[in-house]
Structure 1
Amino acid sequence: MPKVSSPKALAAALTEYWSPRVVDELEDSYVKVAKVLGTFGWHSHDDEDELFLILSGCLRIELETGAVELAEGEMFVVPKGVRHNPVAEQECCLMLIERKSTLHTGNLVTERTRTLAQQLGED
C-alpha cells in the first residue's frame, strides 16, 4: 500500500522546537519536518546541501553574505559549506531534505543538537 503523509500536519503536531523528525527517506536523503521558533545558531554542513521548504509561517536564514526571507510555500537550498543561522520570529513549520550523513548542527554540538536516533523517533 502506498504511503501518503502530510508534512504540514506532521510538523504541526511536534511539541518541541528545533527537534526535526525523519518522516521518510529518498535514496541517500532523509525527509524531515520541524517546528521552529527563535534563533537556531550559526553552523554549516561541510559536505551536504540542505533544503528548507516552509510549510507554515516565515523563516529567515541568515548567511554571512546577507539573509534570505522565506514565506509559506517557498524553499531555499543552503549550499554545502555555507554558514547559516535559521531564525523564526514566530512559530514556523518546515520540511528539510538532507543527505543521511548530514549532522543536525554541523560540526558543532549545542543544546539544540539532536542525534539521528532522536530524529528517527527511536530515543
Structure 2
Amino acid sequence: MEKVNIAEKLSLFSEHWSPKIVGELNGQQVKLAKLKGEFVWHKHDHEDELFYVVEGTLTILFRDRTVTLHPHEFLIVPRGVEHKPVAEEEVSVMLFEPATTLNTGDAESELTKRTLEKL
C-alpha cells in the first residue's frame, strides 16, 4: 500500500497518447496520460470511460456536441458513445476504466496501445 504522487508520476514520461498505469483496484485501472493534438473517433462498447483533467484543457468532441474540461473537472463517457479527445496544447489526464479497456476502443490505429507501462 503506497501513496501515489500524480505530479511525480507525470514527470516520468513525455510521450503523448500513451497511458501509463499508476494503480489498480477491483478490476479497474487508474491511468495517467499526456495528450496533445487530435485522437481518433472511437467508442467503447462495453466500458464507461472517465477523463479527469489534471493540467491543461481537454476538448471532447461528440457527434452532437462538444465538452471542454479544465483542471480538476472530469467527464464520464458512457459505453457505446462515440467520442474524439482533442488537446490544442499538452494536457495531463487521469483515466479510470476497466483493465480490459483498449485506448482506441473500436478504432484500430497507430495510436492503439495493447500493452501499457506500469509506473
TM > 0.5 fold call: yes
Distance 1:60 1:120 in 2: 25
Tell me, yes or no, if structure 1 residue 21 matches structure 2 residue 20. Answer: yes
1:41 is displaced (CA, Å) by 1.1
TM-score, normalization: structure 2?
0.94
Q: CA RMSD in A?
A: 1.4
Query: Which residue in the other structure is 1:73 paired with?
Result: 72
1:56 is displaced (CA, Å) by 0.2
Letter in 2 for 1:29: Q
Post-superposition CA distance 1:59-96 (Å, at most 9, x none): 00001120100000000000000000000010100000
The structure-2 alpha-carbon separation of the partners of 1:65 and 1:9, relative to structure 1 and needing over 3 Å to count, comes to: farther
Q: Percent identical across equivalent pairs?
A: 40
Distance 1:82 1:47 in 2: 10
Query: Which residue in the other structure is 1:43 paired with?
Result: 42
Query: Which residue in the other structure is 1:120 paired with?
Result: 117
SS at match of 1:114: coil
TM-score, normalization: structure 1?
0.91
**Between Structure 1 and Structure 2, how many residues are aligned?**
119
Query: Which residue in the other structure is 2:3 paired with?
Result: 4
In the alignment, structure 2 segments of 5+ residues that lack a partner are none
Q: Which moved more, 1:102-111 or 1:5-14?
A: 5-14
Deviant stretches of 4+, over 4 Å: none
Contact 1:12 1:93 in 2 (8 A): no
